[in-house]
Amino acid sequence: MDANDPVFAIAVAAELAGMHPQTLRQYDRLELVSPQRTAGKSRRYSMRDVLQLREIARLGAEGVSLEGIRRILQLENQVAALGERVRELESALADELLHRPGRRVFAATGSGEMVSLRAGTRTQRNTQLVVWRPLGHEER
């Protein structure tokens, strides 16, 4: 079973979280925990949702307001999503290095654009010299 599988009815999720079912309904309305819905519109909670409910209870017991809890959960979810994206990119990079050993994957131009490079090539560097003289100043 995956932690994100919606398997628990509201009564079971409330018992697992140590809360009253009405509290879970309120948290759903406040969008602190948003369970998935069945075709008949019944709430179904995942183990991840239950753990999040426990975290809400812990933070509330420490005196954090519901708005503070919402922000903390939002940031934690954002960090988790970014961590997953980093793992995806690391995997893609590892695959690229494995299938094309000795090659650079990319380089960045001065304007921030990404360019692919072949093995043994270097990026071009701008070596131009620009002389600037303010308007209205004559040579002495």
What are φ and ψ of residue 16, in 5° steps? Answer: -65, -35
Report the alpha-carbon distance of residue 33 to residue 25 in Å, rounded: 9
Q: Minimal CA–CA distance to 12: which of 21, 4, 2, 3?
A: 21
Strand partners, 45: 8
Each residue of 27-47: pLDDT tens digit? 999 999 999 999 999 999 999
Each residue of 69-84: pLDDT tens digit? 999 999 998 999 999 9
Per-residue pLDDT for 97 more than 60?
yes
What architecture (CATH level 2) is domain 10-99?
Answer: Orthogonal Bundle (1.10)
pTM: 0.61
- What is the domain partition of the chain in residue ranges? 10-99
Per-residue pLDDT for 138 more than 70?
no
Average pLDDT over every residue of 85-97 = 88
Q: What's the pLDDT band for 24 if we cut at 50, 70, 90?
A: very high
Per-residue pLDDT for 103 more than 90?
no
Round the average pLDDT of the chain to a whole number and report it: 84
45 in Cβ contact with 6 (< 8 Å)? yes
Exposed / middle / buried, residue 98 (Cβ in 10 Å: 0-12, 13-18, 19+): exposed
Report the alpha-carbon distance of residue 118 to residue 35 in Å, rounded: 49
- What are the C-alpha distances in Å from 87 to residues 74, 78, 80, 93, 104? 20, 14, 11, 10, 20
